[in-house]
A and B are shown apart, each in its own frame.
Chain A
Amino acid sequence: MNLLITNGRVIDPSQDLDATLDLLIEDGTISRVDKRIKSTVEKIDAKGLVVAPGFIDLHTHLREPGQEHKETIATGTRAAVAGGYTAVCAMANTVPPNDERAVTEMVLAEAARNGWCRVYPVGAVSKGLKGEELAELADLHAAGCVAVSDDGKPVYNAQLMRRALEYCSMLNMPVIAHEEDANLNEGGVMHEGFFSTLLGMRGIPAASEETLVARDVILAKLTNAHVHIAHLSTAGAVDAVRRARQDGVKVTCEVTPHHIALGDDALQSFSTNLKMNPPLRGEAHRKAILEGIADGTIDAIATDHAPHHFDEKNVEFDLAPFGIIGLETAFAVCNEHLVRAKVIKLPRLIEMLSCGPARVFNLPGGTLRAGALGDVTLIDPDAKVEVPREFYSKAANSPFIGQTLRGRIVATIVAGEIKHGQ
């Protein structure tokens, strides 16, 4: 597909570019970024808009196969393009889990048939996500998995984690670690701190995450393999990653928009749309995450988009499943709480949404260089958006409903084709 995007503010952190330029996509590939490009192809006037590399989400639960009442590959990827994402990494904890080639192939086939953006499957670390024996990691990789994770739960067995890291280093594939020690959680439903005490709810201590982050950076060092820490949420975890990185350990990490924007004080409403894992933490943890974003410790923003059906969330807080949706609100939430709050500038946010994720999982995209995928997101960073009650996602479990935020996704272009907007 061919498309010419003119007069936009082109921000491409992969090449330190921030200038008013035209961008030409030919045959689904970026062919030129330059001043006043002459072409007869379809044009978009991007005057006043930001032209960014298409966003890539490292952490999406598309729920298909098996939980199509929550989300499908079709609806999840529709939500993705509405949020400016041109690619999502689909987590393995489906039913059945993506622990063998047949499931990976099914996900890719359905994405090709009904998907709105690129889908990169994430395979399971262990068979059945049981944490007992390794899944066929090389076969998953060959089938198209870009990383492996037992996300939803940690790999408790340190030896299994060690072997997964070693084996995946041969495949040049990261292992994504969901860090949580359920023994320390004691059935917790929110962050352990003053507010869990006030509300009488069982707490998930920061130590539950931090003890496993500490273990896994040590194992990454031992194996010289790449571990990627998912949805990091505590000050101690940020610190552990920062120090390990200084030691040369191959560790990368992501944070979610909701851990950037919200704290555990919000739970006084008892809203089940504030229940997720890891939980919203206290203010000191949130500040540490913002510092990690500002100093470059955090590589990527990932949504942990976790759709649940209305009925599943319309119950007592203790009984509701963990997780909230995030694809459609990620940019505006982060723009509001990072850029407009003056934690970072817009190019750094775009980096964490596009180039950063591409680099971390070694994915195509995340850049506007000539020859790269024609995946582009057009943004109006100053436009107001009111978060609606209904979404392109099948689910509506968002804590941001009703909020007015700034930062509208004007168009999402995948391989030169407009998938959302204009």
Chain B
Amino acid sequence: MRTASSALKSKDLLGIELLTPEEITLILDTAEGFKEVSERPVKKVPALRGQLIINLFMEASTRTRVSFEIAEKRLSADTLNFAASGSAVEKGETLIDTAENLVAMHPNMIVIRHKHPGSPRMLADRFENISIINAGDGAHEHPTQALLDAFTIRERLGRLQGVNVSIIGDIKYSRVVRSNIHLLTKMKANVTLAAPPTLMPAEIEQMGVRVVHSLDEAIEGADVIMMLRIQLERQGKLSFPSLREYYNTFGLTRERVRRAKAGVLVMHPGPMNRGVEIASDVADDPKVSVILDQVTNGVAVRMAVLYLLGGAHAGGSE
């Protein structure tokens, strides 16, 4: 029998950039089945029984960490949560030494969140027999976020091809936007980015996107409006003059949503800065906002990723 894992080329999920459209579709299709599992009275399947997954979170996270942990538990894996605070990282232990020590305890997979781009790749190159899953590396990639966004769009609109997606906000420091651009352009959706030029990274048009500097221009004709969090912790004082001015020029308000296409979806990867990039009456409006659907779907998508990669370690028990 052809195992499911053989359909993903790599042992790791480091970024959407490295996936083919077929692999993306496979993950999304697999996630549909797992979404159903989460709606059962007994929300558990034995797919990864006996496998150890370490969640190595070197940077703060609510949604992603919890979502991975729930996904792992629903697949019957043994899980271990490692947080940098309270660990020997605080004594100066390096990432490689930390990882080497964790690997000595024979995990099957490591889910890593780290503030430095390329950290998951560094581990993936080093540990040949362990699947590394990128749960966000600096401003580089956040592949499971893009997958759950795509799952949500596909669930609501029935397709990805030809869908007009406008992504608005802190493009420069966002890993979510990079993974989304890779995914959406591979699946032939149309991507528009909007931000002040100070939050737009160099030569991003080369990624196959349209760049505008007006919120109204970005939402005109959009099927999906994806708002990005202003990463207050990463900003100097030079990207824009004030939060007030940012909200006035790029904040998504009810008036602005009214001017968008009927049936437009509003998304946000969280955590939200209410009243900075998005108004509460938009974020909380069930007619347009799918923000909590994204969170629900995140579990199913992560189950699919873990399942497809975990098959490599299952030893034919499936």
Interface residues of A (CB under 8 A from B): 186, 192-194, 196-201, 203, 205, 270, 314-319
- B170 located at the interface, meaning its Cβ lies under 8 Å from any Cβ of chain A in the complex: no
In the complex with contacts A200-B178, A201-B138, A315-B94, A270-B122 CB distance below 8 A: yes
Q: How far is the CA of A196 from the CA of B202 in the complex (A)?
A: 8
Contacts of B175 in A (CB 8 A): 200
Contacts of A193 in B (CB 8 A): 202-203
Q: How far is the CA of A194 from the CA of B141 in the complex (A)?
A: 15
Contacts of B140 in A (CB 8 A): 199-201
Q: How far is the CA of A138 from the CA of B214 in the complex (A)?
A: 59
Interface size on B, residues (CB 8 A): 26
A191 to chain B, nearest CB (A): 9
A348 to chain B, nearest CB (A): 33
In the complex with contacts A198-B207, A314-B96, A315-B94, A192-B117 CB distance below 8 A: no
Partner of A201, one of B17, B95, B117: B117
Contacts of B115 in A (CB 8 A): 318
In the complex with contacts A200-B140, A200-B141, A200-B178, A194-B203 CB distance below 8 A: yes
Q: Is the CB of A270 within 8 A of B201?
A: no
B96-114 residues with Cβ-Cβ distance < 8 A to A are: 96, 114
Q: Is the CB of B117 within 8 A of A200?
A: yes
Closest to B142 in A: A200
Contacts of B210 in A (CB 8 A): none
CB pairs A–B below 8 angstroms (25 shown)? A193-B202, A194-B203, A194-B204, A194-B206, A197-B202, A197-B207, A198-B207, A199-B117, A199-B118, A200-B117, A200-B137, A200-B138, A200-B175, A201-B139, A203-B201, A203-B202, A314-B96, A316-B95, A316-B114, A316-B118, A316-B122, A317-B117, A317-B118, A318-B115, A318-B138
Contacts of A318 in B (CB 8 A): 115-117, 138
Interface residues of B (CB under 8 A from A): 17, 94-96, 114-119, 121-122, 137-141, 175, 178, 201-204, 206-207, 236
Q: Is the CB of A319 within 8 A of B116?
A: yes
B31 to chain A, nearest CB (A): 25
Q: Is the CB of B139 within 8 A of A200?
A: yes
Contacts of A196 in B (CB 8 A): 201-202
Q: How far is the CA of A205 from the CA of B203 in the complex (A)?
A: 12
Q: Could you count the A-B residue pairs with CB atoms below 8 Å apart for me: how many are there?
A: 61
Closest to B121 in A: A270
Q: How far is the CA of A217 from the CA of B209 in the complex (A)?
A: 40
Greatest chain A CB density within 10 A among B17, B122, B175, B201 is at B201
Q: How far is the CA of A186 from the CA of B137 in the complex (A)?
A: 19
Contacts of B202 in A (CB 8 A): 192-194, 196-197, 203, 205
Q: How far is the CA of A198 from the CA of B207 in the complex (A)?
A: 8
Q: How far is the CA of A200 from the CA of B182 in the complex (A)?
A: 13
Q: How far is the CA of A199 from the CA of B204 in the complex (A)?
A: 11
Contacts of B117 in A (CB 8 A): 199-201, 270, 317-318
Q: Is the CB of A198 within 8 A of B116?
A: no
In the complex with contacts A196-B202, A200-B178, A316-B236 CB distance below 8 A: no
Contacts of A197 in B (CB 8 A): 201-204, 206-207
A296 to chain B, nearest CB (A): 32
Contacts of B17 in A (CB 8 A): 198
Closest to B94 in A: A315
B89 to chain A, nearest CB (A): 12
In the complex with contacts A186-B236, A200-B137, A200-B141, A316-B203 CB distance below 8 A: no
Q: 10 tightest A-B contacts by CB?
A: A200-B139, A270-B118, A200-B140, A316-B116, A194-B203, A197-B201, A318-B116, A200-B117, A194-B206, A317-B118
A285 to chain B, nearest CB (A): 13
B94 to chain A, nearest CB (A): 6
Q: How far is the CA of A296 from the CA of B115 in the complex (A)?
A: 44
Known pairs A200-B137, A200-B178, A316-B119 / 17 extra A-B pairs, C-beta < 8 Å: A193-B202, A194-B204, A197-B201, A198-B17, A199-B140, A200-B117, A200-B139, A201-B118, A203-B201, A205-B202, A270-B122, A314-B96, A315-B95, A316-B114, A318-B117, A318-B138, A319-B116
Contacts of B206 in A (CB 8 A): 194, 197
B193 to chain A, nearest CB (A): 11
B290 to chain A, nearest CB (A): 26
Closest to A191 in B: B202
Contacts of B122 in A (CB 8 A): 270, 316
Q: How far is the CA of A194 from the CA of B204 in the complex (A)?
A: 6
Q: Is the CB of A198 within 8 A of B96?
A: no
Contacts of A199 in B (CB 8 A): 117-118, 140
Contacts of B139 in A (CB 8 A): 200-201
Q: How far is the CA of A15 from the CA of B137 in the complex (A)?
A: 56
Closest to A203 in B: B202
In the complex with contacts A203-B202, A316-B116, A318-B116, A198-B178 CB distance below 8 A: yes
B86 to chain A, nearest CB (A): 21
Q: Is the CB of A317 within 8 A of B116?
A: yes
Closest to B177 in A: A200
Greatest chain A CB density within 10 A among B117, B178, B204, B236 is at B117
B305 to chain A, nearest CB (A): 20
Closest to A192 in B: B202
Greatest chain B CB density within 10 A among A193, A205, A315, A316 is at A316
Closest to A190 in B: B117
Contacts of A194 in B (CB 8 A): 202-204, 206
Q: Is the CB of A315 within 8 A of B178?
A: no
B275 to chain A, nearest CB (A): 27
Contacts of A200 in B (CB 8 A): 117, 137-141, 175, 178
Closest to A187 in B: B236
Partner of A315, one of B96, B201, B204: B96
Contacts of B94 in A (CB 8 A): 314-315
Closest to B172 in A: A197
B140 to chain A, nearest CB (A): 3
Closest to A320 in B: B116
B175 to chain A, nearest CB (A): 6
A26 to chain B, nearest CB (A): 55
Contacts of A315 in B (CB 8 A): 94-96
Greatest chain B CB density within 10 A among A200, A205, A316, A319 is at A200
